[in-house]
Structure 1
């Protein structure tokens, strides 16, 4: 999104950044060091015997970007529930302004496509999958339209 903002200003390569963008860049660069302390588990289920697995897919958009996140919800044999972020992807909104409903629809398409890939890669084809969006327009379109993006969602999901 930072580069997106730079493109909109149409700065040449040797022009100084405006003060607000220079401050954003400095903050971003300094915050990168915090990633050294981040730990990510390498195993989704950590060797536990699972009684039940679900996949939950959340999609959302704003004027600047849209994205989707896939979580697993696992119930262990002993009754413990574990929720893990499995995969997430975001995209910057196009330079040409789009409506929020259109970007919400793009987020839902992205979520459905990512889910197909994740379920195939992890061999979780028969796992219950739930898709979440806060866009009433997207929900209405999914239930009543056959436009291209809706057809993509239908291809990668089931009505249930």
Structure 2
């Protein structure tokens, strides 16, 4: 799983389960040629991962880059007992913000809002 070139992290939802499975294998201290069939929970997880690998995943990532002088940064993070993740989005809203009740672009320039 660490030989996949994924600089943007788009495949993390697919590869994370395999990485966690490999960590569980390492904690069992199995030899390289030893079967893990006797470990029931690992066997079930392995069969599920194999079945999951045969399903095709098709994704498209539409992009539209129109930069304005006003941008928003949205940061999200989450964690579990097995992994953690963070994502940062840069959003450039349309220039016509008056109709949405935002006020003019000049009013918001330089303002920082944390919530």
> Could you tell me the TM-score, scaled by structure 1's length?
0.40
Aligned to 1:39: 60
- Higher Rg of the two aligned structures: 2
Give the number of the structure whose residues are more often helix, by fraction.
1
Show the 5 A alignment for 1:111-150: 128=112, 130=114
In the alignment, is residue 55 of structure 1 matched against residue 79 of structure 2? no
> Equivalent of 2:47, from 23, 28, 32?
23
- Following superposition, which runs of at least 4 residues in structure 1 exceed 4 angstroms of deviation? 126-130
CA contact (8 A) 2:76 2:88 kept: yes
Cα drift, residue 26 of structure 1: 0.6
> Could you tell me the TM-score, scaled by structure 2's length?
0.52
> Equivalent of 1:9, from 28, 31, 47?
28
Cα drift, residue 38 of structure 1: 0.7
The aligned length equals 81
Structure 2: segments with no counterpart, 5+ residues: 1-19, 38-42, 101-109
Give the number of the structure whose residues are more often strand, by fraction.
1
RMSD of equivalent CA atoms: 3.2
Relative contact order, CA 8 A, sep 6+: which one is greater? Answer: 1
Structure 1: segments with no counterpart, 5+ residues: 82-125, 133-160
